[in-house]
Amino acid sequence: MRRWREAARWAEQMRALAPTSLVAKIQNGYINFQWKGDTRLLKSILDEIRAGFDPDGSVTAARWDVAMLQRDYSSAKRILETSSANEISYSIAGLTPKIFLEGCTCIAQGDNASAQKAFEQARPAFEAAVKEAPESAERHASLGWLYALMGRKNDAIAEGQRAVELKPESKDAIDGSLMNGYLALIYARAGENDLAIPLIERLLKTAGPIDSANYSITVSDLKYRWEWDPIRDDPRFKQLIAETSP
């Protein structure tokens, strides 16, 4: 519901009740980022986690994400290089091949050639995941995002729309809005601003989940994530952020 002050208070209580929980710690930091656009609390929490403690790669994912939010691409690369995990717990679609995150780092830097090599290496795993569970909206959405980053516009949009069809908000008010968040990302990357911006505008006003990943639609995510750079200069996007800032 974007009642950030209350959310932060309850996140602090969750952390106090479960002081050893990685989820409680990391989510507490993300609430602060989504509320204030500030990654310092999240980074300080991650810095407290001992080196080498990284179940399912979730700590690596959060550290990489913070570096990307700060546009510190050299640190983002180093975090991935030093991680022993080949698969990272980043999205709701399941474990993500680390090579995909390496590709994201490259494309955010403007190194498209290296990014495409990485995405091509990741592609079989994404496609196999959909083949394994063709009714999984999350896997279609994730594949669509990969295709969008690869420049496969029509395939990307088809997969994103399929995800929304499989899990519409009318049937799943929680994950359904996340599927639309993926679709908005895909539209933005594919140059379909006229489709992306109205969808973003609606999602900003729709009560629903937020997540520690790029398909989460909050003002802070829109402001700071590299994924939205393709539409960042669109006057409508700028106005949308300005009008809905907390």
Please, what are the domains in the chain?
Answer: 1-49 (no CATH), 50-244 (1.25.40)
Task: Count how many residues are written for the chain.
Answer: 246
Residue 46 and residue 29 in contact, taking contact as beta carbons nearer than 8 Å? yes
CB atoms within 10 A of CB 134: 11
* pLDDT at res. 228: 98
* pLDDT at res. 244: 64
pLDDT digits (tens), the chain, 246 positions: 889 999 999 999 998 999 888 888 899 999 999 999 999 999 999 998 888 788 888 899 999 999 999 999 999 999 999 998 899 989 988 899 999 999 999 999 999 999 999 999 999 999 999 999 999 999 999 999 999 999 999 999 999 999 999 999 999 988 999 999 999 999 999 999 999 999 999 999 988 888 888 999 999 999 999 999 999 999 999 999 987 655
End-to-end CA separation in angstroms for the chain = 13
Compute CA 144 distance to the chain's CA centroid, rounded to the nearest angstrom.
13
* pLDDT at res. 152: 98
Q: What is the pLDDT of residues 107-139, one digit of tens each?
A: 999 999 999 999 999 999 999 999 999 999 999
DSSP string, 76-122: HHHHHHH---SEEEEETTEEEEHHHHHHHHHHHHT-HHHHHHHHHHH
Helix or strand holding residue 91 (H, E):
strand 87-91
Compute CA 227 distance to the chain's CA centroid, rounded to the nearest angstrom.
9
Rounded Cα distance between 242 and 134, Å, is 39
